Amino acid sequence: MEKIAVISDIHGNIPALQSVFADIHARNIKRILCLGDLVGKGPQSRESIDMIQNHCETVIKGNWDDFIPKPQDSEVINWHQNQLTKQHMNYLCELPFSVEFVMSGKLIRMFHASPRSVYERIQPWDTIDRRLSMFENTEHTENTAGKKEPDVVLYGDVHNAFQQHIKGKTLCNVGSVGNPLDLTSASYAILEGEYNQEKNGLFSIQLVRVPYDIELAIRLAREAEMPELNEYLQELTTGQYRGFKK
C-alpha cells in the first residue's frame, strides 16, 4: 500500500505550509501532489512557489496561478504580483491543468476547480447534476483511459474540505492549506491504495487537519504591509469567507 498526500490552496501562507509538510514527513509520506493556488491572498507567494517546487512531484494550476502572471489593474493584485520574479511567473504559466492515475483499480483525476475551467466553482451543496459534471471528460483533461470517466475526483478551489459519494463515484475537496474557509486549521488529504494497480483493491481518502501558528501568519502579513490585511486576518482566525457578510 502506498500513501500520497494531496495539498491545495496555499496562498502564500508559509507557517501553514510548514506545519502541513511537517505532518506529512512525520507520517513518512514521500509523494506530495499540489492542486494549485500557490500564490496570492497571503504575504509569501515567492516562498510558497519555492517550497512547493522542492517538495511536490506534481503541481497543477489554480485560478490565482493563472491570473497572477497576466497584467491586472488592481492595486491589491499588483502588490501580490510584485512579490514574484519573472522565473516564478514563468513557473506558474507552465503548470498543467490536470493529472490522473490509477490506484487500486480506480481512475483518479485531479484538477483545481472543475474539468472545464480553473474559474468554475463547484460547492458540495450544488445540484447533483453540477456535482456529477465534475467527472466529465473535457478537452482540458488528460483522458488517459479514453472515454472512461474517473471514479474519483479530487479538487481544491473552494477552501472547503469534504468527501461524498455520488452515483458510485467519489468527489473529494482536499480543502486549503493556507486559507481554510470551513475550520481554521490547515487542510489536506491522504490517499492510500495500490499505485498504478488496475486490480480493484483497498482504497481510502483521509481528510487531515493540521493546527498551525495563525498569529505568526498574521504577523508576517502585517510586517509585509500586505493590502487587505483585515479581511485576511478575519478569514484566518474565523474560517469564514470575507464575501459572507451579515
Task: Specify the residue, 8 or 143, whose C-beta has the smaller distance to Mn ion.
Answer: 8
How near is the Cβ of 189 to Mn ion at its closest, in Å? 16
Task: Give the cell for residue 214.
Answer: 495563525
65 touches Mn ion by CB under 5 A: no
Task: Give the cell for residue 218.
Answer: 498574521
How near is the Cβ of 244 to Mn ion at its closest, in Å? 16
How near is the Cβ of 57 to Mn ion at its closest, in Å? 21
The alpha carbons of the chain give a radius of gyration, in whole angstroms, of 17
DSSP 31-74: EEEE-S--SSSSS-HHHHHHHHHHH-SEE---HHHHHTTS----
Task: Specify the residue, 79 or 195, whose C-beta has the smaller distance to Mn ion.
Answer: 79
How near is the Cβ of 27 to Mn ion at its closest, in Å? 25
Stretch 74-113: interaction string toward Mn ion, x if CB under 5 A? ----------------------------------------
DSSP 117-173: -TT----TTS-HHHHHGGG---SSS--TTTTPPPSEEEE-SS---EEEEETTEEEEE
- C-beta of residue 113 within 8 angstroms of C-beta of residue 155: yes
**Quick one: which of 23, 37, 65, 235 contacts Mn ion (CB under 5 A)?**
37
Task: Specify the residue, 150 or 175, whose C-beta has the smaller distance to Mn ion.
Answer: 175
Task: Give the cell for residue 33.
Answer: 501532489
Contact footprint for Mn ion (CB under 5 A): 9, 37
